[in-house]
């Protein structure tokens, strides 16, 4: 975006709406919508170098098979767009944060391993890991069908996304070295849930620029 860009806010939404359309035309070409839909402004970003960000909803018939829903993200950040898989605005913002974090740090998914990467030279026990994590919040919960859904190398640490049934309900559990967390969004791919989880964790970090009493 131009250095002359106004700060993202409700007052400058028209300017940012047009910049979002400019960005989308490079990707959607003639299927770019004439107008975007609902939006939400996020006043700050926990990512270094990023700032206020706007998330827009829109629909487009990119494949010629009917309109589909998308999210566009612009502002004091690298613009991007994502398929809208029923995201709340907070979820969409967290997805963007997690995506930016992964790209910046070069986070890679561990693929095609015969078995999960070992811990201290011992095979990684998915069921044991889930039990230890769940015990922190619900020691009496019943766990079934625990399996590794995805594994990521984050600077030499391994963040696991584990799929299981928790008291009969499908859930994702963040395991191995990953920050503690669960997700009920088992309708989403584990890679998407992982990015959303990273974004949520980043948002929980204290604002280094906050003044006492803010």
Element (H, E) at 149: strand 143-154
pLDDT at position 152: 94
Q: Is the pLDDT of residue 143 over 90?
A: yes
Does residue 123 contact residue 109 with C-beta atoms inside 8 Å? no
**Residue 2 and residue 15 in contact, taking contact as beta carbons nearer than 8 Å:** no
Average pLDDT on 22-32 reads 97
Chain segment 78-136, per-residue pLDDT in tens: 999 999 999 999 999 999 999 999 999 999 899 865 456 666 777 889 999 999 999 99
The pLDDT of residue 21 is 98
- Between these two residues, 144 and 118, which has the higher pLDDT value? 144
Q: Which of 101, 122, 113 is nearest to 200 (CA)?
A: 101
pLDDT of residue 214: 56
Query: Taking a C-beta distance cutoff of 8 angstroms, is the pair 159, 176 a contact?
Result: yes
Q: What is the DSSP letter of 10?
A: G
pTM: 0.91
């Amino acid at each position: 975006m131009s250095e002359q860009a106004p700060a993202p806010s409700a007052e400058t939404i028209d300017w940012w709406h047009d910049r979002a359309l400019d960005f989308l035309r490079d990707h959607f070409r003639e299927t770019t919508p004439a107008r975007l839909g609902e939006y939400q402004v996020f006043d700050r970003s926990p990512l270094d170098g990023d700032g206020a960000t706007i998330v827009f909803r829109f629909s487009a018939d990119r494949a010629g098979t009917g309109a589909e829903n998308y999210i566009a993200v612009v502002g004091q950040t690298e613009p991007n767009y994502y398929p809208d898989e029923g995201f709340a605005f907070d979820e969409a913002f967290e997805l963007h944060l997690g995506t930016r974090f992964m790209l910046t740090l070069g986070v890679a998914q561990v693929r095609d391993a015969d078995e999960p990467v070992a811990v201290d030279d011992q095979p990684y026990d998915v069921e044991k890991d889930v039990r230890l994590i769940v015990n922190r919040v619900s020691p009496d919960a019943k766990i079934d069908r625990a399996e590794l859904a995805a594994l990521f190398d984050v600077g030499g640490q391994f963040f696991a996304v584990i799929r299981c049934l928790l008291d009969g309900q499908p859930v994702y559990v963040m395991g191995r070295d990953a920050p503690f967390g669960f997700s009920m969004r088992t309708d989403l791919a584990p890679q998407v849930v992982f990015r959303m989880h990273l974004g949520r964790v980043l948002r929980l970090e204290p604002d280094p620029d906050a003044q006492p009493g803010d």
